[in-house]
Chain A
Amino acid sequence: MTSASSTARVRVELPSSLCRLACIDCEVTLKITGPITQLSVLDALEARYPMLQGTIRDPLTNLRRPFIRFFACGEDLSHLPPSDPLPQPVVEGAQPFLIIGAIAGG
């Protein structure tokens, strides 16, 4: 578990469209202090790569976009409350937090 003051190194994988937009490799590591949640991960991601603001969650409501999913440790975490803690392997950097563009279309 992380305490309010500890710093974790969280691995985040992004869909290729967002990697090209941010000109980054598709996995980035974020240093995050405090609780590791969807909210803190996305806040840290958007702070480091401002061009991603609005692409994963709505820029006005901060709600996850309908065709975006969050996976980790083989689980779909998309519907977890954004402030809930993420699984410990994500906190420890053993597993990435996956941001997925949902399969849609034919």
Chain B
Amino acid sequence: MSRVRLLVGTKKGAFILTADGARKDWNVSGPHFAGWEIYHLKGSPVDPNRIYASQSSGWFGQVMQRSDNGGETWAAVGNKFAYDGEAGTHQWYDGTAHPWEFKRVWHIEPSLTDPDTVYAGIEDAALFKSNDAGASWQEVSGLRKHGSGPAWQPGAGGMCLHSIILDPADPLRMYIAISAAGAFRTDDGGASWKPINKGLHSLYIPNPTAEVGHCVHHIAMHPERPGTLFMQKHWDVMRSDDSGDNWTEISGDLPTDFGFVIDVHAHEPETLYVVPIKSDGEHFPPDGRLRVYRSRAGGHEWEPLSSGLPQSNCYVNVLRDAMTTDSLDECGVYFGTTGGQVYASADSGDTWNAIVRDLPAVFSVEAQTLP
């Protein structure tokens, strides 16, 4: 019988939640790396017991961890993230030039084909790659040296590269997103990049349709439709059917189109999930009711999913990497909140249960479907 393993990164450590295919009874392991901020953990699709974790602290900096046995034991690997060549500057909040400075790893994306190859998205925004299972890291510098780099500026949470999507149909194609620069694509394995933000409209920048400067919160893709992308922007939910070259808004009848997460059903490429958040100034669900919204039409028409979720006095947020799906026959959907709850649905979102309620603030949730 298949199993599910959830990798949960929180403000004060990592937790590993496991269950059989029924997904009713969960075992909770942790905290791993107690007291440290764990922005993200992710397992290799090739070797699920190979898991990488980003461990950081305001006192002690960045540590990268790797497990080769499904999270039972860990070993620190390389943590030197040196920008390639002269680091240069980007825009600071006040518009002045600010040197590029490494702060932390936000997102880890293991290769689809090689367990020793892994990408890391960092703050200040850059993409790094390791070909030796995390022992050493080299910048994929074609991205940061794209001509617009000096104009990039941080969002409220910092200038982070938070989304990395590898195209399963084309090993040379990759997508990334940066707050607040926008989305970018490479078609040549990272040597060169192009902004893919046409169709985005952001009222909070001087030119709302600028080539870069958009605060993209997350992007998602179904592996069977690698040319179709979905985006939760600061405001607006968007889709592209031409690999990001053009975007159209699909917010439709959502109660608010601000939010952080977006994800796709494991077996239905037109079934999407978002968690609407009231506004950029009020990072909590509208009316204090926590609802996942699902579209079965690829956007525009959305239905609230609230069974099992708190429908009063709920003022948590769901951060950009904190939603995931498993690939069991009946797709499981999971998300974690800043209030420390991890919610699970074993029926594509129809009903929800809290696996845990009192973890530290959840930064990220990743699901592994195991044999």
Interface residues of A (CB under 8 A from B): 15, 17-18, 20-21, 50-51, 53-56, 58-60, 65, 67-68, 101-102, 104
Query: Which residues of chain A are within 8 angstroms of B75 by Cβ–Cβ distance?
Result: 51
A104 to B58 CA separation, bound complex (whole angstroms): 9
A17 B80 Cβ-Cβ under 8 A: no
Q: Which stretch from B59-67, B155-163, B208-216, B319-327 is at the chain A interface?
A: B59-67
Contact of B80 among A15, A60, A67, A68 (CB under 8 A): A60
Interface residues of B (CB under 8 A from A): 33-36, 57-63, 75-76, 79-80, 82, 102
Please name the residue on chain A nearest to B62 by beta carbon: A54
Can you list 16 A-B pairs, Cβ within 8 angstroms, ordered by A?
A: A15-B59, A17-B36, A17-B57, A18-B60, A20-B33, A20-B34, A20-B35, A21-B33, A51-B63, A54-B62, A59-B79, A60-B80, A67-B58, A68-B60, A101-B59, A101-B60
A21 B63 Cβ-Cβ under 8 A: yes
A59 to B57 CA separation, bound complex (whole angstroms): 14
Please name the residue on chain B nearest to A102 by beta carbon: B59
Query: Which residues of chain B are within 8 angstroms of A58 by Cβ–Cβ distance?
Result: 61
Apart from the given pairs A21-B63, A54-B79, 11 other A-B contacts in the complex at a CB distance below 8 Å? A17-B57, A17-B59, A21-B33, A53-B79, A55-B57, A55-B61, A59-B79, A59-B80, A65-B60, A101-B59, A104-B58
Query: Which residues of chain A are within 8 angstroms of B34 by Cβ–Cβ distance?
Result: 20
B82 A60 Cβ-Cβ under 8 A: yes
A21 to B33 CA separation, bound complex (whole angstroms): 7
Please name the residue on chain A nearest to B57 by beta carbon: A17
Please name the residue on chain A nearest to B36 by beta carbon: A17
Contact of B35 among A17, A53, A55, A104 (CB under 8 A): A17
Query: Which residues of chain B are within 8 angstroms of A104 by Cβ–Cβ distance?
Result: 58-59
Please give the distance in Å from A9's CB to the nearest CB on chain B: 26
Please give the distance in Å from A41's CB to the nearest CB on chain B: 17
9 tightest CB-CB pairs across the interface, nearest first? A51-B76, A55-B60, A67-B59, A101-B59, A54-B79, A59-B80, A54-B61, A60-B82, A17-B35
Please give the distance in Å from A62's CB to the nearest CB on chain B: 12
B60 A56 Cβ-Cβ under 8 A: yes
A20 to B65 CA separation, bound complex (whole angstroms): 13
Please name the residue on chain B nearest to A16 by beta carbon: B35
A15 to B59 CA separation, bound complex (whole angstroms): 10
Given A21-B76, A59-B80, A60-B82, do A54 and B63 touch, yes or no (CB 8 Å)?
yes
Please give the distance in Å from B124's CB to the nearest CB on chain A: 14
A50 B59 Cβ-Cβ under 8 A: no
Query: Which residues of chain A are within 8 angstroms of B61 by Cβ–Cβ distance?
Result: 54-55, 58-59, 65
Please give the distance in Å from B230's CB to the nearest CB on chain A: 36
Please name the residue on chain A nearest to B76 by beta carbon: A51
Query: Which residues of chain B are within 8 angstroms of A56 by Cβ–Cβ distance?
Result: 60
Query: Which residues of chain A are within 8 angstroms of B80 by Cβ–Cβ distance?
Result: 54, 59-60
Please give the distance in Å from A4's CB to the nearest CB on chain B: 30
Please give the distance in Å from B263's CB to the nearest CB on chain A: 32
Please give the distance in Å from A45's CB to the nearest CB on chain B: 13
**Which residue among B36, B59, B75, B102 has the maximum number of chain A CB atoms within 10 Å of its CB?**
B59
Query: Which residues of chain B are within 8 angstroms of A102 by Cβ–Cβ distance?
Result: 59
Please name the residue on chain A nearest to B55 by beta carbon: A21
A25 to B212 CA separation, bound complex (whole angstroms): 50
A48 to B124 CA separation, bound complex (whole angstroms): 31
Query: Which residues of chain A are within 8 angstroms of B57 by Cβ–Cβ distance?
Result: 17, 55
Please name the residue on chain B nearest to A50 by beta carbon: B76
Please name the residue on chain A nearest to B83 by beta carbon: A60
